[in-house]
Amino acid sequence: MAVFKSKFSTPPDGWYEYELDGKNVRDTSRFGICRKVRDLRAAAGLPTVGDGMRYVMEWMCPRLPDGFCTSPSDVAPTIRAADVKQRTAELFRRRLTQADIAERRMEHCVNKCPAHTRRGFCLDCTGLLDWLYRGFGGARGKLPADRATGVCVIDKVMVAASAAVADYPPAEGAEYPEGCWRKTGGAACQ
């Protein structure tokens, strides 16, 4: 059975999770998730051995980034917010594209791209969007799609920033998904 390498580690996104028969429970505390696991298992007529944390780890480990648990995982490593901020800040000096083009790019990323993620990146509650607006020095206004965006796991930048710049060539050697506007150097979605 796979377990967290450090028994008292908090998962990368801050949430403990467990699922049984299509019913999912989540909590940010070990105590809370264990209570929910016991309740869920009891409702299904199943006993719970111990406090229930072993069931959480067994369910979560295949879904967590490789290296977090005692067994290997196919999940990509966690993207650190500090790395995303550093890479995104490099875009602040670039020329901006038209707002309607930026909107189409963001909508494409959010709705069609498997390399787009919001997991671990709450742009509103962390203040990342406000940081982005300040970074562009007021030149890049707020757009409706901003709040739905997250991070490109390939470029490791905030999508709200990458979609807004006019001259953002694809990263050398990067393999973008089919249909990605980045493959064309930003020409798609225009």
Q: pTM score > 0.95 for this model? A: no
Report pLDDT for 64.
84
pLDDT at 121 over 80: no
Report pLDDT for 189.
62
How far, in Å, CA of 27 to CA of 14, rounded? Answer: 9
How far, in Å, CA of 149 to CA of 116, rounded? Answer: 8
H helical segments located in the chain: 30-43, 53-60, 81-89, 99-112, 128-135, 159-162
pLDDT at 71 over 80: yes
Mean pLDDT of 103-113: 91
What average pLDDT does the chain have? 89
Sequence ranges of the domains in the chain? 1-75, 81-184
Four-residue CA torsion sign, 92, 155, 164, 146 = negative
